[in-house]
């Protein structure tokens, strides 16, 4: 972005440097030399402090499924503001949203609210330990599940630390205790035979297997049917719980990713789209497992509090947002996702540049490689691929389209075919700047 188009954002960043480490309070929005500061949004467009407008294909990292300033959500929030924003008492608003979620997803017999996806994952893992009496968890290599120490293990492991068929447990945050690494068993994604061998070897001490059905950080590659069937069979055989992280993938369909895939986990974590643009998270699952949170007989097996849990603002915003997500709305949005993926694939072919797009429904991720992508290791970009993607992302930002630096994109309901075609046209132009010709076949 040129200086003339970012002077106000630069000034804001200089102020932020005085009061925040690195001028930042959210690592994911950092962008060198400084981020662009948002001031407003409407529908699928965002405006920054310098008067630049962007077509928003990031939507606050997939959470704004109805785009910005949705009038139905806004009106629900305005009504609640006049009544109060939070109390040291429950309100009917949490019952309404819980009823909606339980009616929509067969595997949701009971729901418990948190304030973020990270909190939801943390409480799901605690619930699994409390229910089974076992200390360890298993997770897939390269998958992101929020900022709980145990969920972060092997999030961004590099080739030199991968290990062989049995992936190593690698710390993500400096200072992570060795005891945390010892209590996380890492399995390869989408490799059922290897993963089953590892899970069965540790079955007596594993409380659960945590999996995102389409993990973004691991390439936004859908889980195969064979892999999911293996997980459901092994967890059933061994008494482990199967925990789905649908914080992002819940937007794949009316009944979430599990409805699309036809697999019912024991617990599910959800967030983002269920809050209508406000902080939220939730753990949902079977009555039997969710009973660990029940306080009626004294201290629960898994105590769980939170000052803003189920606050009425998030509850009414989430209810309004979810009511707008009818089966027809999902069909329309997912069809736009298909149009976007087809357009991206066509643009790569027309430009003669190596690349592909992964994802499903209203989610997609761009990769600058033609190598078959099946798991985290195959999807991890080389230095050259990373540089090419950075060039594409920066071109798109400079030409008014927001996508993640990883190539992640998320659609919103205010979009139509015109916005998809606008995105594809700018992406096609961006490919011409990469200087990355297609590699000759061997």
Told to judge if 37 belongs to the known catalytic residues of this protein, a careful annotator would answer no
Q: Hey, how many other C-beta atoms are within 10 angstroms of the C-beta on 182?
A: 11
DSSP string, 280-310: -EEEEE-HHHHGGG--TTSS-SS----TTTT
Q: What is the pLDDT of residues 109-154, one digit of tens each?
A: 999 999 999 999 999 999 999 999 999 999 999 999 999 999 999 9
What's residue 441's pLDDT?
A: 41
Residue 375 contacts residue 141 (beta carbons within 8 Å):
yes
As a whole number, the mean pLDDT across the chain is: 95
What's residue 82's pLDDT?
A: 98
Please name the residue that has the structure tokens 């309100």: 91
Active-site residue, from 136, 139, 191, 272: 272
> From the centroid of its chain, how far is CA 170?
21
Burial of 324 per CB tally in 10 Å (0-12, 13-18, 19+): middle
Q: Could you give the domains of the chain?
A: 37-65+326-431 (3.90.1150.10), 71-324 (3.40.640.10)
Q: Hey, how many other C-beta atoms are within 10 angstroms of the C-beta on 122?
A: 23
Could you tell me the sign of the dihedral formed by the alpha carbons of 93, 96, 99, 104, in that order? negative
What's residue 103's pLDDT?
A: 98
What's residue 213's pLDDT?
A: 97
Active-site residue, from 245, 266, 354, 375: 245
pTM comes to: 0.95
Q: Which long-range contacts (CB under 8 A, 24 or more apart) does 83-86 make?
A: 83/312, 84/312, 85/311, 85/312, 85/313, 86/307, 86/308, 86/311, 86/312, 86/313
The phi, psi pair for 373, rounded to 5°, reads -105, 120
Q: What is the pLDDT of residues 256-312, one digit of tens each?
A: 999 999 999 999 999 999 999 999 999 999 999 999 999 999 999 999 999 999 999
Residue 366 contacts residue 409 (beta carbons within 8 Å):
yes
Active-site residue, from 48, 136, 144, 354: 144
Told to judge if 272 belongs to the known catalytic residues of this protein, a careful annotator would answer yes
Alpha helices in 174-271 (DSSP H): 178-182, 192-201, 225-238, 256-261
| Farthest CA pair distance, the chain | 68
What's residue 442's pLDDT?
A: 36
Told to judge if 254 belongs to the known catalytic residues of this protein, a careful annotator would answer no
The residues of the chain scoring below 50 in pLDDT are 1-2, 440-442
What's residue 163's pLDDT?
A: 75
Q: Please report, to the nearest 10 degrees, the dihedral formed by the alpha carbons of residues 203, 205, 211, 215 taken in order.
A: -110
């Amino acid at each position: 972005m040129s200086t003339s188009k970012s002077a106000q954002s630069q000034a804001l960043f200089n102020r932020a440097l005085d009061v925040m480490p690195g001028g930042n309070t959210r690592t994911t929005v950092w962008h060198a030399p400084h981020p662009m500061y948002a001031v407003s949004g409407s529908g699928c467009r965002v405006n920054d402090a310098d008067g630049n407008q962007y077509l928003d294909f990031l939507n606050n990292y997939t959470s704004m499924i109805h785009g910005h300033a949705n009038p139905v959500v806004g009106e629900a929030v305005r009504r609640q503001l006049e009544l109060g924003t939070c109390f040291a008492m429950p309100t009917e608003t949490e019952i309404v949203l819980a009823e909606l979620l339980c009616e929509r997803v067969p595997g949701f017999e009971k729901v418990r609210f948190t304030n973020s996806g990270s909190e939801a994952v943390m409480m799901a893992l605690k619930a699994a330990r409390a229910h089974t009496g076992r200390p360890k968890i298993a997770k897939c290599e390269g998958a992101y599940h929020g900022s709980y120490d145990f969920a972060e293990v092997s999030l961004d492991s590099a080739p030199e630390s991968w290990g062989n068929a049995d992936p190593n447990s690698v710390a993500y945050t400096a200072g992570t205790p060795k005891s945390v690494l010892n209590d996380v068993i890492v399995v390869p994604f989408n490799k059922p035979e290897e993963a089953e061998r590892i899970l069965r070897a540790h079955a007596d001490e594993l409380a659960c297997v945590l999996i995102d059905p389409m993990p973004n950080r691991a390439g936004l590659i859908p889980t195969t049917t064979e892999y999911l069937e293996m997980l459901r069979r092994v967890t059933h055989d061994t008494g482990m719980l199967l925990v789905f992280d649908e914080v992002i993938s819940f937007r794949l369909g009316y009944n979430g990713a599990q409805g699309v895939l036809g697999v019912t986990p024991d617990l599910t974590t959800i967030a983002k789209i269920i809050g209508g643009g406000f902080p939220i998270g939730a753990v949902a699952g079977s009555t039997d497992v969710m009973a660990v949170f029940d306080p009626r007989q004294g201290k629960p097996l898994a105590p769980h509090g939170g000052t803003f849990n189920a606050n009425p603002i998030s509850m009414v915003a989430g209810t309004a947002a979810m009511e707008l997500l009818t089966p027809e709305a999902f069909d329309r949005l997912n069809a736009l996702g298909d149009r976007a993926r087809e357009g991206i694939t066509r643009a790569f072919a027309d430009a003669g540049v190596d690349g592909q797009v992964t994802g499903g429904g209203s989610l997609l991720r761009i990769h600058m490689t033609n190598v078959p992508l099946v798991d985290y290791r195959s999807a991890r970009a080389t230095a050259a691929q990373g540089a090419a993607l950075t060039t594409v992302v920066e071109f798109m930002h400079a030409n008014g389209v927001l996508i993640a630096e990883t190539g992640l994109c998320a659609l919103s309901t205010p979009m139509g075919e015109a916005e998809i075609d606008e995105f594809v046209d700018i992406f096609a132009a961006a490919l011409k700047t990469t200087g990355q010709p297609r590699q000759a076949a061997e």
